[in-house]
Amino acid sequence: MKSELSHLFVDRAAPGVLDDFKSGMRRALPDPSAARVRTAPRAGDGTASSTGNRSRAEEAWIAGHIGGLRGQVLDVGCGEQLYRDELAALLRSNAIAYTGLDPDEESLARLRAALPEARLHAGDIEHFDGEPASYDHVLCLRALNHVLDVDEALSRMSRFLKPSGSLLLVEMTPFAMLRRAEQVEAADRAPRAGHQHFRNLASADVLPFVRRHRLRVVEHHPASHETSNQWILLLARDPGVLPPATRPKPGDERPA
C-alpha cells in the first residue's frame, strides 16, 4: 500500500489514540527533491508531509450527495455517522424519512440523541426485514468491510431500492502509519477495540457483485496514489426487473 498507492500517513493524534481521521492523520508523500538510488522506498525515507488534505474533496463530495437526498433513506451501518449535520437538516425540513441500521446499541443511542426524528434498528443488513423496492436511497458508509456476507448484503440493499434508486458505497483500503516510539508503546498498552473488519475490499473487488445484483455504476472514485485510501462507488438499481429474493440463511428455511 505504501509503495503502490503512497498511502502512508503520519499519526498526529495523542499517543495511542486515533479517533479523528480528519485531523489526527496527515498524508506523507514522496519528496521529489530527495535523491534516490533505490527502487523500493523504505518507510520514512524520501517523504515529505503533505500540507493539503486530499480527503477534503472526497468528504465534500459525500456530504454534497447526502445533502441532496430526498425521499426514503436506508443507512446501513449508521452508528458512527459522520454526516449528522446534513441528515439533521434534511430531517428537520421533512426532505427525507431516515431509517438507520447498526448492530451496536451504544452507537445507536448516540445517534438517536443527535437525530431524534430517525427510525433506528439494532441489527445487521443480512437479517433486516425491509420491504422490497421501498427506499429511494441506500447508504453504506465505511460499513461494507464489517458485514459478514458481502454478497447477501449487496443483494438485500439492491432489492430494497426502488427502480433507479441510488446506493452509495464508501469504504477504505489498508494504509501504513508512521508513529514515534512513544506512540507505538502507548498504542500497544491501549485496550483492544475487538474485531473490526472481516476483509479490506478495494472498489474493484465490489464490481462483480454490482453486476450480479442488477446495479449499474453511476460514479466510481477508486483509491489511488492521487487520493486518500478511501474509495467511493455510487450505484443505481436497474429500473427493470426486481432483483431475485435473497437466499435464506441457515435456520430461516420454512417447511413446505
For 110-131, write each residue's pLDDT tens digit.
999 999 999 999 999 999 989 9
Helix, strand, coil percentages (3-state) for the chain, rounded to 5, are: 30, 25, 45
- 254 occurs within a structural domain: no
Please say whether the dihedral angle defined by the alpha carbons of residues 96, 138, 86 and 104, taken in this order, is positive or negative: positive
Residue 205 dihedral angles phi and psi, to the nearest 5°: -70, -20
Contact 101, 75 (CB under 8 A): yes
Contacts of 18 (CB under 8 A, 6+ apart): 11, 24, 25, 187
Share of the chain above pLDDT 90, in %: 52
Residue 101 identity (one-letter amino acid): L
Interior angle at CA 231, CA 229 and CA 232, nearest 5: 160
77, with CB counted inside 10 A (0-12, 13-18, 19+), is buried
Joined together, the cell numbers standing for residue 47 give 517523504
Joined together, the cell numbers standing for residue 11 give 499519526
- 245 occurs within a structural domain: no
For 12-36, write each residue's pLDDT tens digit.
877 767 666 666 777 776 666 654 5
237, with CB counted inside 10 A (0-12, 13-18, 19+), is buried
**Model pTM?**
0.79
Q: How confident is the model at residue 51 (pLDDT cuts 50, 70, 90)?
A: very low
Whole-number pLDDT of residue 2: 58
Whole-number pLDDT of residue 106: 92
CATH number at residue 217: 3.40.50.150
- 97 occurs within a structural domain: yes
- 247 occurs within a structural domain: no
For 182-237, write each residue's pLDDT tens digit.
888 887 777 665 666 787 899 999 999 998 999 999 999 998 877 878 899 999 99
Contact 163, 215 (CB under 8 A): no
What is the count of structural domains for the chain? 1
- 152 occurs within a structural domain: yes
- 205 occurs within a structural domain: yes
- 252 occurs within a structural domain: no
Range of the domain at 172: 2-237
Whole-number pLDDT of residue 253: 38
- 249 occurs within a structural domain: no
